[in-house]
Structures are given as structure tokens and as C-alpha cells.
A and B are shown apart, each in its own frame.
Chain A
Amino acid sequence: MKKSSKVLLVILALAVLYIPILIICFLSFNDSLRPYEFSGFTLKWYSEIFAEKTLYEAIINSWIIALFATAISTICGTFIAIRISKLKQKHRQTVMFLNNLPIVNADIVTGISLMIIFSILGLHFGKYTMLLAHIFFCIPFVVLSVLPRLKMMDENSYDAARDLGCTHLQAVFKVIIPAIKVGIISGALIAFTMSIDDFIISYYTTGDGFSNFSTWIYSRLNRRSFSPAAYAYNTIITFGLLIILIYINLNSKGDNKHEKKH
């Protein structure tokens, strides 16, 4: 491929991804409530984020759910992955098949499945059912991300630690966990990314007026209660993060160990 065509292709791909984000960013500075006219530059939607109580609550809910779901699924997923790595190849493949099902499964099917089982178990729909659902779809990603790191590890190091007098837990915390740290961190990042942006599964597993950012938007589309403050919040998150990521990158020494994760 020629260099110019490479550059063009990357630009095309980035354009496809960023055009809608830039539109949202543009509208977050638009004084008009109507998305089809620009009536002047304003920052009022940025202060509206805090003034619009239901939106503010939904944003906080998204973060709380995502933080708890990430913490819990990272801990559980890591221990599960450690256990899976010790299985024989054949069993491991079977367990990984089961683990991968929720990842590939359509969100709507996952959401409905959870809704059905939660209502049969008599759970009260609200923040706890949503949290449970998020933990459910986050764990497989953590397992998937930690497992390859465990495979790269020297199998004997755990036994060596035990021979040198470590208890099982000491061996896990002092030998295994440090060796798979990169996998755990990227698993946690993926879990968080999935959780904070989730719409379909949250939509089916929430209740009692509890909404996260996505369900807040969906329930207010085309209604007067929709506020462009949502555009403002999204712009802060996206471009704030972009700046942070580029800053970290320019200041790091090109360690590309943790590059393959999304």
C-alpha cells in the first residue's frame, strides 16, 4: 500500500467514528434547544449538567454502577481465571466456551434473560438488579483478559512459592497476581468501558425509577425533558479522556505491552 492511501484509510476510519461525536460536541455549545439551528455559542449546558437534577443523578448512578461492577467483576474474574488456567486443555476449552457465551450473546437476549430470571427469583428491580446484571456481563471480559497472562506465566512459580513456605493465598497474592497485573488492569478497563456505556441490558434490568446515563437519554428522546446538558457531559468525558490518553502517551517511554485491549 502507498503511504498516502494508508493515511487516507486511517482518516476515513477515524471520520466514520468521530463525525457523530463532533456533532454532539458542536451541539453542546449551541444556544438553541433545537438540534437543526445554531443560534449562538453558549456554555450554559455545561452548568446545566449540575442543575438538571435527574440527569446529574443518572450520571452519578452510571459511575457508581460501573465502579462497583468493575471492582467486583475484576476480583471474581481474576480468581476464576486462575482456577481455569489450572484445568486441562479440554476442560479449559469447555469452560471458556461457557464463559464466552455472554460476551457474544446479543445484548437484548442477555437483558431479557436476566429480566426473566430476576422476576422469577422475585428480585426488586432497581439499582441492585442493574448492578447484578453489569457484574454478570463484566466477569467474562475480565476472565478473557486475565487468562492469556496466566498462560504466559511460568507454571512452576506457584509451586516454588509454596515450596518456599507460602500459603496458597500468599502464593496467589505475592506471585501470581503481580505476574498477571497487566491482564487484570486491562480486564478492569474493559469491564468499566462496557458498564458505563451499557444501554440495552440496563434498560431491561432496571426499575423503580433508577436510571443510568443511557436509559436517561433513551427515556427522554424527542421529549421536552431532554436537555442538551447530556451532550455537554458526553463531550467532557470523550475529549477529556482523549487529552489524558494523549498526554500519558507522550510522556511514557513507548511501553507497548498493554496495547491490544479495547
Chain B
Amino acid sequence: MKTRNISLPLYLIWLFVLVFIPFLIMLFLSFTKTRGLDFSHLVFSLDNFKDILDPIYFDAYVNSIVLSAIASLLCLLIGYPVAYILTNLKSNKLKNILLAMFILPMWSNMLLRIIGWEILFNPHSILNSIGISFDLIGSPLAIIIGMVSTYLPLMIFPIYTSLNKLESSLLEASYDLGASKFQTFKSVILPLSLPGIYSGLTMTFLPSATNFALPERLSGGNINLLGNIINSNFGKSFNYGFGSLLSVILISVIFVLVFFINRKDKDGDLLL
């Protein structure tokens, strides 16, 4: 069939220019020492690779992985049952209202939601008037709570989508063949919702590990994550070489993850 739709080649060029070329530039910058994008004073060096092993950054790598992993597992622990409950709600009205209530927080500004927690976690807060005082700013717990609160909907919705796709006839077949509720869940529902889980984990883990505003506010500057280091190298110190190297590593990890999800998710619609 002949069509005059040239949108696809244009889109591929667009992605090439805005995704691939910047990646190549960052790959190139990783091997240089530079201030900003000053190509005239560029010096080739492998210093960035030495810097990346500098112990002062180890905390940030470990924190990024550990805190975000805990946060996304908590999201899964809360999000999976919630998605399951939502899928099986009999009343459509209640279901739609609850879905709307889980979407809505994303309409509230992300920075303000983080500031909401920050205000609550300060020892000196409006809660004092009712006799409660938290002192959590700077603790890993504050950051984890912030991450769960910010990204929980991104766990609920992919799982909800994959549970929603389950044919009820599969479940009936399982019960007819004598499986218990738990057996059906373990050998039918859970495996078939795995793509949703993978996508949910990706969508909560990556932003948690790379958001720089969240740790900045909730740790009072004490705990740095990967995002903070990348941000300070591009923003404050103009050390584009080192920032680029970290970004390139991050993109490579993401590339592998997307590849993996893409394999699992033939319909390609689970990221929503």
C-alpha cells in the first residue's frame, strides 16, 4: 500500500538528532577535559574515568541504588495489591473515582509535593501545635518516603494495565481445574502481570535514582544521588566531561532496560 505519510522518516531523523547525536557528543566529551561546551580549549584525557572511581562519589552510587531500590520495592508492595484491588472492583463508579484519585496527585506540582514532605519532616513544623515533631530531614527514610510518594502512581498504572488485560476465562479455567485462589494467583495472574511489574519497577527506580531536586530538599544537602552529581557537574562546576561520562553510563543502563522491556512487551503499551 502506497501512502504519502512521511511522518516516520521525519520522526526517525528527529530522534536521531535529539537522542543519538547528543549521546555521541557526550561520549566524546567523556574522553575530554572541558569547561562547558568550549571546544576550542578541549584537552583529551582519561581523568574522568579516574574520577568516577573516586571514593567521594561511592556514597552517591550506593545511595542511588539502595535508596531507589528500597523505594521501588515499597512501591511494588503497595502498588501491586492496589492495582489488583482496582482491577477487581465490581462498581465501575468507585473504580473510576479511585483511578482518578491516583492520577490526580500527578497534577499537583512535583516540587511542591516534595516541599510538603520537607515541611512535615522538619523538627520545627506546623505539627508542633498538635504535639508531634519529626526530625527526618537528612535521613534516608525521608528520601525513601519522598520517592514512594512521588512515583507510586507510575507503579500502579502499568500493573493495572497488565492485570486488566487478563482474560477472565483464564482464571475460570484455573479454578475449574481445581487450583486454589493462591495457586491461581501464583501460577496464572502473577506471571501474566510480570511485564507490568518490570515496567513499573523501571518507571519508579530510574526517576528515583536520578531526580536531583528530591534529595536536595529532603536531605538538606547531606545525601547525594546520581542526579545531584550529574546536575552539579553540568550546572555549577561546568565539568561537562565528567557529567557526560556519568550520563553515558546511565544511558547505557537505560538502553539495556528498555531493550529488555521491549522484548517482554510485544504490544508496546505497558509503559503507560
Q: Is the CB of A93 within 8 A of B262?
A: yes
Q: Is the CB of B120 within 8 A of A144?
A: no
Contacts of B202 in A (CB 8 A): 104
Q: Is the CB of B116 within 8 A of A38?
A: no
Does any Cβ of A come within 8 Å of B184's Cβ?
no
Quote the shortest CB–CB distance from B40 to chain A (angstroms).
Answer: 14
Does any Cβ of B come within 8 Å of A13's Cβ?
yes
Q: Is the CB of B262 within 8 A of A16?
A: no
Stretch at the interface among B44-52, B54-62, B105-113, B168-176: B105-113
Per the 8 Å Cβ criterion, residues 205-243 of A in contact with B are: 213-214, 217-218, 221, 230-231, 234, 237-238, 241-242
Does any Cβ of B come within 8 Å of A190's Cβ?
yes
Q: Which of the residues B104, B124, B206, B257 comes within 8 Å of A238, measured between beta carbons? A: B104
Does any Cβ of B come within 8 Å of A95's Cβ?
yes
Q: Is the CB of B92 within 8 A of A254?
A: yes
A selection of 29 A-B contacts at a CB cut-off of 8 Å is A6-B85, A10-B85, A13-B78, A13-B102, A17-B149, A20-B112, A20-B120, A23-B120, A23-B126, A35-B125, A37-B126, A76-B7, A80-B11, A82-B5, A83-B5, A86-B1, A92-B268, A97-B259, A100-B271, A104-B254, A109-B251, A113-B26, A144-B272, A148-B267, A197-B110, A199-B111, A213-B109, A249-B100, A250-B93
For the complex of A and B, list the 7 residue pairs with the smallest distance between their C-beta atoms, beginning with the closest. A20-B116, A113-B22, A254-B92, A106-B210, A23-B116, A245-B100, A83-B8
Quote the shortest CB–CB distance from A192 to chain B (angstroms).
Answer: 10
Query: Is the interface on chain A under 10, 10 to 19, 20 to 34, or 35 or more residues?
Result: 35 or more
Q: Which of the residues B37, B104, B128 comes within 8 Å of A119, measured between beta carbons? A: B37
Contacts of B125 in A (CB 8 A): 35-36
Q: Is the CB of A24 within 8 A of B113?
A: yes
Q: Is the CB of A24 within 8 A of B96?
A: no
Q: Is the CB of B81 within 8 A of A249?
A: no
Give bound CA distance, A117 to B152, whole Å: 32
Give bound CA distance, A76 to B227, whole Å: 31
Does any Cβ of B come within 8 Å of A114's Cβ?
yes
Contacts of B119 in A (CB 8 A): 23, 27, 35-36
Contacts of B257 in A (CB 8 A): 104
Q: Is the CB of A120 within 8 A of B111?
A: no
Candidate in A17, A96, A199, A242 with the most chain B CB atoms within 10 angstroms: A17
Give bound CA distance, A35 to B17, whole Å: 45
Does any Cβ of A come within 8 Å of B95's Cβ?
yes
Q: Which of the residues B25, B111, B113, B231 comes within 8 Å of A117, measured between beta carbons? A: B25
Give bound CA distance, A249 to B148, whole Å: 27
Does any Cβ of A come within 8 Å of B211's Cβ?
yes
Closest to B253 in A: A106
Q: Is the CB of B267 within 8 A of A259?
A: no
Q: Which of the residues A80, A99, A106, A254 comes within 8 Å of B93, measured between beta carbons? A: A254
Contacts of A119 in B (CB 8 A): 37
Q: Is the CB of B124 within 8 A of A262?
A: no
Does any Cβ of B come within 8 Å of A70's Cβ?
no
Per the 8 Å Cβ criterion, residues 199-242 of B in contact with A are: 202-203, 206-207, 209-213, 217, 227, 230-231, 234
- The main secondary structure of chain A at its interface with chain B is helix
Q: Is the CB of A97 within 8 A of B262?
A: yes
A24/B210 contact (C-beta < 8 A), A136-B18, A197-B107 known: no
Contacts of A199 in B (CB 8 A): 110-111, 213
Quote the shortest CB–CB distance from B62 to chain A (angstroms).
Answer: 18
Give bound CA distance, A105 to B252, whole Å: 10
Give bound CA distance, A120 to B247, whole Å: 18
Q: Which of the residues A98, A159, A238 comes within 8 Å of B107, measured between beta carbons? A: A238
Q: Is the CB of B4 within 8 A of A107?
A: no
Give bound CA distance, A107 to B99, whole Å: 25
Given contacts A20-B116, A145-B272, 11 further A-B contacts (CB under 8 A): A24-B116, A104-B203, A106-B250, A112-B234, A120-B37, A148-B267, A168-B3, A230-B109, A261-B272, A262-B103, A262-B106
Interface string of A159-176 (1 = CB under 8 A from B): 100000000100000000
Quote the shortest CB–CB distance from B9 to chain A (angstroms).
Answer: 9
A260/B160 contact (C-beta < 8 A), A13-B78, A214-B111, A246-B97 known: yes
Closest to A32 in B: B126
